[in-house]
Amino acid sequence: MDKAKAKKRIEELREKISYYAKKYYDEDKPEISDFEYDMLFLELKDLEKNYPEFITQDSYTQHVGGNVKTGFGKVEHKVPLLSMQDIFNIDEIADFVNKIKEQAEEENIENQNFVVETKIDGLTASLEYKNGIFVRGSTRGNGLVGEDVTENLKTIKNIPQKLTEKVTITVRGEVFIQNKDFEEMNKKREENGEEIFANARNAAAGSLRQLDSSIVKNRPLDIYVYNIQEIEGKKITSHYEALQYLEQLGFNVNPIKILCTNLEEVNEAIKEIENKRDSLTFGIDGAVIKVDDLPFREMLGVTSKNPRWQIAYKYPPEQKSTKLLDIVCNVGRTGVITPLAILEPVEVAGSKISKTTLHNEDFIKEKKIKIGDTVVIQKAGDVIPEVVKVLKEKRTGKETEFKMPEFCPVCGAKTIRLEGEVAVRCSGTECPAKLYKNLVHFVSREAMNIEGLGENIIGELLDRKLISNIADIYNLTFEQVSTLKKNGTKFANNLISAIENSKQNDLYRLITALGIMHIGGKASKTLAKTFKNIDNLANAEYIELAQIDDIGPTMAKSITEFFASDQTKDLIEKLKQAGVNTEIKETEETDERFSGKTFVLTGTLKNFTREAATNIIEKFGGKVSSSVSKKTSYVIAGEEAGSKLTKAKDLGITVLTERRFMNMIK
């Protein structure tokens, strides 16, 4: 390759790697597999080695991937959290080991041992302890500065809040999700119509970097600790001994750590880990080889990107080809229709694969998948089976195109795909596949607010076939409800009373409860004020709807399609017959004192719940946002206000105490 072509290819690779790295590290939404990314990176590295005159400081070969996410406090790492040099050829292991041995002999280092560990596929975290108490945790970020995610890390059960000794120490570990937990989490997300995670690593990263720690608490995060970054008052000279000491302190330490004295033992350890790969409960993408002698490590030092005392050997993903026999469609609880590939069973990475998700219509078109194709399967992150590509050369001409169904395969209602979305959905309000989710939403606090009718009770009512659609709630009898609980007389009285009271709710609550796509509480109030009753709304034209403030074209289309459905018309009629109010209630003249103002709530409020404060702001014509931006008018800060308060101060936004807010609403 001549210089001109080399320069052009280097620039192309940098642009691609920069894009894919941003998707992987910063957005936690990878668009290519780890192996594909590694191959691009390796190609760039080799080209830069052969043409060093084209190396620039902004190249990804010169720094650690990832940036500090806005919304978190910054943490400067006293000891940089550098990445590892990846290798893909077994011969490079020998080069590394022999080079280390030679340097050790030159320096008269007696301990020339190595420790081989699993390379866990997760997100690096730094944990700081003062006198044995956990005080701060952070992500790697760019290696020098990370994100303060202390509160999120506190939700992980395997991170000890107090150590067995009063030691001041900083350790490094990997936050991840166990394979079984990951599969279960994705299964629930798919059922709920949510976007599934591409792999366990990005699920862990996306979870840990949530701004709301209550979300993190519900994610099954775990951690393995594998290095001491700093320690006060204790001298440790061996990495293997350090790992044992970390276990004594109460840390969850990387379970596979093999002490090796020579190249042969290192190679055996790498092979042993590869053989165990399919039976491990957590995802790995390689094995790490580390120098055991800690003072020797200091002598070896680091480059601007990698320590010289360790390398990571990356295992290639196992791929198999098989026949795609059919594509069927599953309907999730929110009505999202997901195409599923039915495969001729094939063993991949220790599991027999007979089906896998094809995600959506766009994925099928992008991969040019046809029914009857021979496809290549691999496990993404060693967990989820995925279709990598089609072997077009094996086509016989008998393959057939797949089209997403025009009607729901469960209830027969028309399917819809809204502009800007990849999901195709069932439009039916009474579709059995989405009935449970619809019921839960209908009775929720922000909708019809039927107290006592929680998820478990709804599940029980469906199991006993006491209800088969939303309107059946209003036909429940005292006798039926009282059987749901032992000694259920009081429960039945309260629930029947709550159901009866909900019939008198204002119109906006009913509109919210119907679960129209893109229509939340605020839009429901606007629609109720504009149309006065449900019939006027149902008969509204698209153009009329699209011109309403806070509605717009996307919402307008969603509303017209919703009310055009026969199932919707049937449900509305049943609700009317049950005595549910379908008209707006007369209210006193509204006070628009917060019109045009946007509020953000942060911290714990003493006198209001978040919902109550939101309702007050909206009552006075204001809006409530979940994030601080330049458009924010006020931030109401309660106790233990966090990063939102910091950002508000940085942007010069007016911060209100709870007392000041109360004065504003008098």
Catalytic residues: 119
Residues contacting 454, CB < 8 A, separation 6+? none
Are the C-beta atoms of 358 and 375 separated by less than 8 Å? no
Are the C-beta atoms of 499 and 480 separated by less than 8 Å? no
Classified as helix, coil or strand, 648 is helix
**Strand 169-177 versus strand 74-76 pairing type:** unpaired
636, β-bridge pairs: 601, 656
What angle is formed at CA 649 by the lines to CA 643 and CA 655, rounded to 5 degrees? 95
- In eight-state DSSP terms, residue 468 is S
CA dist 73 and 124 (Å) reads 17
Strands of the 623-625 sheet, one edge to the other: 623-625, 598-602, 634-637, 654-656
What string of DSSP letters covers 191-213?
Answer: HTTPPPPSSHHHHHHHHHT-S-H
For 79, the enclosing helix (H) or strand (E) is none
- In eight-state DSSP terms, residue 84 is P
CA dihedral of residues 97, 103, 108, 114 (deg, nearest 10):
-20
Q: For the beta carbon of residue 577, count every other beta carbon within 10 angstroms.
A: 11
CA dist 66 and 27 (Å) reads 10
**Strand 336-348 versus strand 424-426 pairing type:** antiparallel
HSE-CB at 28 with a 13 A cutoff on CA atoms is 20
CA dist 214 and 203 (Å) reads 16
> Where do we find the tokens 């691999």?
378
Q: Kindly state the tokens that stand for 637.
A: 């800060």
Q: Kindly state the tokens that stand for 437.
A: 């989710």
Q: Letter for the amino acid at 354?
A: S
CA dist 75 and 72 (Å) reads 9
Kindly calculate the radius of gyration of the chain based on its CA atoms and give it in whole angstroms: 29
CA dist 351 and 279 (Å) reads 10
Give the distance, in angstroms, between the CA of residue 664 and the centroid of all CA atoms in the same chain. Answer: 38
